[in-house]
Amino acid sequence: MALDIVGVAPLYQGPDINRMRLTAELSQKPASLLKPLVPLKSKLTTIETKRIMSVLDETIHKVELVTLLSYMGANYETLEKMLGGDIIKAVREHEDLCHTLLDSIIYLQDKERRLQEEEEYEEEGLFRNRLFSLELQKSHLLPLMLQIKESTKDILRLLLNNPQAASLAQTHTLSRSVEAQNFIDCLMELRGFLFEKLLTSPMEARDRSQFIQDIDRRNKRNQEIINTLENELAAIMRNREAEKKYKVETEIENWIQKYDMEMGEKQVEYEELDLIHKEEKIQLEELKQKHNVLVEEFSQIRAEQEVNAKKRIEAEQEMLHMVRAATLIQALWKGYLVRSMLKSRKKKRSKSKGKVRKGKGKGKGKEKGKGKK
């Protein structure tokens, strides 16, 4: 379809050829190095070259418009006022044709897939008949594809006859698909190559070819020098590696010998320490045994001391009870003796008083008897 669109004759009043963007996008490298590759002219001067670029620019412009048809068909309601009723009507008819073609293709693809799956289970004659019917249905798509091509051309004529609508449509470049934008970018890149080619005269082309050949020869010489230097560097590196390896092996051997020597000394020291440790361990076991005996004896002595202490405490308590009892007995006895002494004294006093009284009575009686006499 793109080739058919490219082949469409100019259907609109194109821009002035002298005002086209006929400038080459040159490299940013220093001009002194790329001087043979840079065309001397910066603008096209002949009518033929301008026509060639005009045709390519028209093609790019048409491709830019065609790649926006899907967006126009999906948003015809919002674009109707800007683009006009005729363009929107043509776009909708084109969209209907595209949908019909797409549905037919999907239907035929599904039918072909099912036919391939059922190929093993059907007779050969029946399978060929169904396959022929499928190919016949595919051939019926050609008129529909021609209708789509014609509708595309019609829409392009309408847009190109209405530059304002075409410019408004191109404001929606972000709605273009990624594939379509890549195709347009490739066309723009092709335009740059073609423009540079048209700017280059035969003599400049010959000089450029000679320059490229010189560069190629220099590159080959430089590559040979690089290869030689790389080989020399590889040889030097191998020698260094053979030296870095001998030195490393020697150093490793020295380290191993030093390690063996130090480990031997450490082994002797370890054996001595191990012997001392074993002796100290034996002494420790003996001390543990002595300690256990002493602990046992101490436990026995302490148990005996506790028993003796209990006995002493019991004896002291018993002695205290006995002393208290003796003291109590002594106190009771002393009280008894005091009371007995008091009682005996009272008796003696009472007896002495009775004798006194009796003596007094006898004396009074004697006195009385003497008086009577």
**DSSP state at residue 140:** T
Q: Given the structure tokens 């006898």, which residue do they identify?
A: 362
| pLDDT given for residue 156 in this prediction | 82
The four Cα atoms 67, 168, 60, 49 give a dihedral, to 10 degrees, of 170
Of the chain, the end-to-end C-alpha distance in Å amounts to 209
Whole-number Å distance between alpha carbons of 36 and 209: 9
Structure tokens, 217: 């020869």
* Amino acid of residue 186: C
Say if CB 76 and CB 165 are below 8 A apart.
Answer: no
Residue environment code for 46-74, b if the CB has 16+ CB neighbours within 10 A, otherwise e: eeebbebbbebbbbbbbbbbbbbbbbbbe
| Stretch 237-248: mean pLDDT | 83
Higher pLDDT, 20 or 206: 206
pLDDT band at 111 (very low <50, low <70, confident <90, very high): confident
pLDDT band at 197 (very low <50, low <70, confident <90, very high): confident
* Amino acid of residue 142: L
Say if CB 195 and CB 187 are below 8 A apart.
Answer: no
Structure tokens, 28: 């940013």
**Considering only 195-199, 278-282, 292-296, which range has the smallest mean pLDDT?**
195-199
Higher pLDDT, 172 or 133: 133
Position 23 pLDDT exceeds 50: no
- What residues contact residue 17 under an 8 Å CB cut-off, 6+ apart? 50, 51, 54
Position 225 pLDDT exceeds 90: yes
Position 281 pLDDT exceeds 50: yes
What pLDDT digit, counting tens, does each position of 344-366 carry?
888 777 777 666 565 555 555 55
Whole-number Å distance between alpha carbons of 311 and 307: 6
Higher pLDDT, 84 or 255: 255
| pLDDT given for residue 2 in this prediction | 37
Position 208 pLDDT exceeds 80: no
| pLDDT given for residue 223 in this prediction | 92
What pLDDT digit, counting tens, does each position of 49-99 carry?
888 888 888 888 888 888 877 777 777 777 777 777 888 888 888 888 888
Position 32 pLDDT exceeds 70: no
**Considering only 26-35, 56-65, 185-194, which range has the smallest mean pLDDT?**
26-35
| pLDDT given for residue 41 in this prediction | 62
Is the Cα dihedral 130, 134, 136, 140 positive or negative?
Answer: positive
- By 3-state DSSP, what share of the chain in percent is helix, strand and coil, each rounded to 5? 90, 0, 10
SS3 for 75?
coil
Q: Across all residues in the chain, what is the average pLDDT?
A: 77
Of the candidates 100, 198, 197, the one whose C-alpha atom is nearest the C-alpha of residue 148 is 100
**Considering only 95-104, 112-121, 269-278, 319-328, which range has the smallest mean pLDDT?**
112-121
**Considering only 19-23, 31-35, 132-136, which range has the smallest mean pLDDT?**
19-23
Helices (H) and strands (E) in the chain — how many of each? 11, 0
Higher pLDDT, 297 or 6: 297
Structure tokens, 327: 């003291």
User: What is the Cβ-side half-sphere exposure of residue 279, based on CA atoms within 13 angstroms?
Assistant: 5
**Considering only 31-45, 170-184, 287-301, which range has the smallest mean pLDDT?**
31-45
Say if CB 174 and CB 145 are below 8 A apart.
Answer: no
Higher pLDDT, 336 or 22: 336
SS3 for 21?
coil
| pLDDT given for residue 248 in this prediction | 82
Say if CB 165 and CB 87 are below 8 A apart.
Answer: yes
| Stretch 20-41: mean pLDDT | 48
Q: What's the Rg (C-alpha) of the chain?
A: 70
| pLDDT given for residue 56 in this prediction | 87
Say if CB 110 and CB 137 are below 8 A apart.
Answer: no
Whole-number Å distance between alpha carbons of 242 and 263: 30
pLDDT band at 4 (very low <50, low <70, confident <90, very high): very low
**Considering only 117-126, 209-218, 231-240, 273-282, which range has the smallest mean pLDDT?**
117-126
Position 373 pLDDT exceeds 90: no
pTM to 2 decimals? 0.42
Whole-number Å distance between alpha carbons of 219 and 238: 27
**Considering only 114-123, 147-156, 201-210, 315-324, which range has the smallest mean pLDDT?**
114-123
Long-range own/partner contacts, residues 224-233 (CB < 8 A, 24 or more apart): none
Whole-number Å distance between alpha carbons of 220 and 226: 10
Of the candidates 89, 210, 109, 209, the one whose C-alpha atom is nearest the C-alpha of residue 154 is 89
Position 171 pLDDT exceeds 50: yes
Alpha carbon of residue 93 to chain centroid:
53
Whole-number Å distance between alpha carbons of 137 and 115: 14
What proportion of the chain, given as a percentage, has pLDDT over 70?
80
